[in-house]
């Protein structure tokens, strides 16, 4: 059984930083792409960052490129999203997701992602 559990959300002022974590289990696939999505109130869900767990490729959305960093700890089975220089527009519910495929194949197309966490709220004040 696959489980994804996010943590690390909270409130921060503009310019601050947060690190999100996604502890996972049951993801035993030869091809595994994991990533972060976010959804702000009244907006569509947006892909933030993804990476191939068994490779080195990482991909970022245009709005977070250079500010956010995705990483994975194989020993802890945990995906991270380091968020720096946060802005009010980054306010959203952030969700961890996983897919049994390569990131370069599926990109941020939601229909391709098999597993989702419940989400964690990030609020950035001016």
> pLDDT for 48-67, tens place per residue?
999 999 888 899 999 999 99
Q: What is the largest CA-CA distance in the chain?
A: 43
Strands 18-25 and 78-83: antiparallel
- Own/partner contacts of 62-66, CB < 8 Å, gap of 24 or more, are 63/89, 64/90
Note whether 12 and 18 are within 8 A (CB).
yes
Distance CA 8, CA 19 (A): 6
Distance CA 56, CA 73 (A): 13
> pLDDT for 75-96, tens place per residue?
999 999 999 999 999 999 999 9
């Amino acid at each position: 059984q696959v489980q994804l559990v996010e943590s690390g959300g909270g409130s921060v002022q503009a310019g601050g930083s947060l690190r999100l974590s996604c502890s996972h289990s049951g993801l035993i696939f030869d091809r595994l792409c994991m990533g972060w999505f976010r959804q702000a109130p009244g907006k569509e869900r947006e892909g933030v960052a993804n990476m191939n767990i068994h490779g080195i490729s990482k991909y970022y959305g245009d709005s977070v490129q250079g500010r956010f960093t995705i990483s994975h700890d194989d020993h802890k089975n945990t995906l991270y999203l380091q968020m720096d220089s946060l802005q009010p527009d980054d306010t959203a519910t952030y969700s961890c997701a996983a897919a049994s495929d390569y990131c370069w194949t599926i990109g941020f197309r939601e229909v391709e992602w098999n597993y989702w966490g419940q989400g964690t709220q990030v609020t950035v004040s001016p």
